[in-house]
Amino acid sequence: MRLRECHNFHDFRLLAKKRLPGPIFNYIDGAADDEVTLRRNTSSFESCDLVPNVLRGVSEIDMSVTVMGQKLATPFYCSPTALQRLFHYQGENAVAAAASSLGTMFGVSSLGTVSLEEIRKKHQGPQVYQFYFHKDRGLNRAMMERAKEAGVNVMMLTVDSITGGNRERDLRTGFSIPFKLNLAGLTQFAIKPAWAVNYVTHEKFRLPQLDEHVDMSGGAMSIGKYFTEMLDPSMNWNDVAEMVKHWNGQFCLKGIMSVEDAKRAVDIGCTGVVLSNHGGRQLDGSRSAFDQLAEIVDAVGHRIDVMMDGGVQRGTHVLKALSLGAKAVGLGRFYLYPLAAAGQAGVERALRHLRTEVERDMKLMGCTSVSELSRANLRFR
């Protein structure tokens, strides 16, 4: 199977599975506990049908949206995700380049493998920094200052990861960073030598946002311990309000799922919320973002930009979310599989396919702009 044979989400996933060692593929592919929420994230779209209008004159389509003050050429963006150079040596540079070529937003994680400064210098387009809240308040403030100096457009605080989810696929292979694999995991690496060659012949894997705080040599601190020892489960609304005030710019909370929390986000001055269950990787049994979207849009959509991520695999999924009132839709696994399969070329192919799908589907819906999408175009079974 080759890149040119990939035409949809499932094709890219299959190619990534062929090219990645099993433990790394399962790190991307897996979720918490029984993975019920992972499956529901996509199946939730299937209970909603589109009702198209015809004869509307749709020769010209405008897919652009404005989200948290950022003009995007497409109504979808690349959400921040961790450890990207583990999947392909180009890592965040590949994703940023692909997103920039489409005129959309991309994110860099606190657990990113390319520095904020390098990404900002190399790539144009709106940039998000996904931030975790640490026990060390001085570290929090220093990381925010670094992001501001780098020219980051939007601060995105992840609020659903005060501890790591129970990801049993990783437990079965012994996956961790630094690598401490069991025998089954090591065997999977041995049968995928191409990945190993790329890993050892390119720039050393590191976490530049956390170089001074996480020991990648396997010493005092590893990724697993990072979540349990450095992140602060006592984080509360007062802490976040102080961060919002200090940042004094576009500030988004990622991981909001309740109306009550969305209202609190508005009250403390946030400019955006992302409805998200972390791709099903945290609390299994959590409601899907799409299922929760309408009631949160109804409650706060007139006061704050509401976005969502989780389970998006098709252009029709994007249109359904936009019709319910989402300002834009975030992508995660959607671009990670093509990144793992073929680096920048893979991500560009996947994003361009999605853009083509959205454009085609808007024409078939009889809509020339995103603003024409509404709940009148939807029926729930």
So which residues are the catalytic ones? 278
Question: Hey, what's the torsion of the CAs at 110, 160, 250, 115, to 10 degrees?
Answer: 10
Among the listed residues 263, 261, 67, the one whose alpha carbon sits nearest the alpha carbon of residue 154: 67
- The secondary structure of residue 228, as a DSSP letter, is I
Q: What is the 3-state secondary structure (H, E, C) of 1-61?
A: CCHHHCCCHHHHHHHHHHHCCHHHHHHHHCCCCCCHHHHHHHHHHHCEEECCCCCCCCCCC
Q: Are strands 76-78 and 70-72 parallel, antiparallel or unpaired?
A: unpaired
Residue 140 phi/psi, 5° resolution?
-55, -50
> Which residues make Cβ contacts (< 8 Å) with residue 23, sequence separation at least 6?
170, 173, 174, 175, 181, 185, 188, 189
| Half-sphere exposure in the Cβ direction for 80 (13 Å, CA) | 29
Q: Which two tokens stand for residue 197?
A: 């060659």
184 in helix, strand or coil? Answer: helix
Among the listed residues 292, 291, 285, the one whose alpha carbon sits nearest the alpha carbon of residue 262: 292
Q: Which two tokens stand for residue 121?
A: 């210098």
268 in helix, strand or coil? Answer: coil
C-alpha–C-alpha distance, residues 122 and 289, integer Å? 33
Q: Which amino acid is at 187?
A: T
DSSP string, 137-148: HHHHHHHHHHHH
- Angle between the 36-46 and 289-300 helix axes, to the nearest 10 degrees? 70
Are 320 and 46 contacting, i.e. CB atoms less than 8 angstroms apart? no
Q: Which two tokens stand for residue 186?
A: 């090591």
E strand or H helix that includes residue 239:
helix 237-247
